[in-house]
Chain A
Amino acid sequence: MDDLHIWLAIAVMSIVTAATRFLPFLLFSGKKKTPKLIERLGKTLPFAIMGMLVVYCLKGVHFGGLSGFLPPLLACLAVGATYVWKRNTLFSIISGTVLYLVLVQFVF
């Protein structure tokens, strides 16, 4: 790609990305009242989306060998267990990430 094409491509990506972020706000804000269905979706979606994002992050997990699933599984369990125990986000994230680093770099 030549320089001009790269910059144009970046402009297109910026505009389309912004469009996906702005569209819901443009459709459902201002003077018109937000439809009830959208309002209720707005309340339940965060729960579903976080579940989807967790799966999205773990999409590379495979069962073709222990290294394919044990590190993320153990690290996620560590995050979950420490979170239920302490309810401290930062503590759980650090514990889980350190465990994961050790597992992928030194154990598997």
Chain B
Amino acid sequence: MLSYITLLLVCQLAGEVIARLFRLPVPGPVIGMVILFLGLLVLGRVPEGLDRVGRSLLVNLSLLFVPAGVGVITHLRQIEREWLPISAALIVGTLVTIAVTALVMAALLRRSRP
């Protein structure tokens, strides 16, 4: 168990080091995810202990967003000032994104079918 928690931290740390060393705009943990993903591809399976550690983290993934979300308290005035561009970008932007992705995917899947 502890060894797999260590493995996750080692991957994250390696990601942070790579991101800073090469001045990449990609967040360190994302590079850590790629490193772990490549490791799993090479290994060809998910070790049971890693699966348990990963599951316990991801089951409560939503909780981990809360402290950052509470940070809204420091931006309330800005959101109030810019409520129109923000809400329009959120609602219209999200609907347009769903439409474009779904239509492109559906068209390509239809074409690939013999």
A and B together in one complex: no
